[in-house]
Amino acid sequence: MKLSTRARYALRMMVEIAKLTNRIDDTVSLAKISDVTNISRRYLEQLAIVLKSHSLIRSKTGKGGGYQLARPASEIPASEIIEATIGPINIVDCVLDPDTCPMADDCGCRSVYCDINSRIVSSLSDLTLDKLAEKHRN
Residue 103 lies in a domain: no
Handedness of CA 10, 131, 76, 23 (dihedral sign): negative
Interhelix angle 30-37/5-20, nearest 10 degrees:
110
CATH number at residue 69: 1.10.10.10
- Structural domain includes residue 61: yes
Q: Please tell me what DSSP assigns to residue 91.
A: S
What pLDDT was estimated at residue 137? Answer: 65
Whether 111 is covered by a domain: the verdict is no
Task: Please give the mean pLDDT across all residues of the chain.
Answer: 92
Domain that holds residue 11: 5-87+129-135
Residue 117 in domain: no
pLDDT at residue 24, as a whole number: 67
**How many structural domains comprise the chain?**
1
Q: Report d(CA 5, CA 111) in Å as an integer.
A: 28
What predicted TM-score, i.e. pTM, was given to this entire model? 0.89
Which phi and psi angles does 77 have, rounded to 5°? -80, 150
Q: Mean pLDDT for each consecutive 10-residue tract of the chain (138 residues)?
A: 92 94 83 95 96 96 89 96 95 90 88 94 96 79
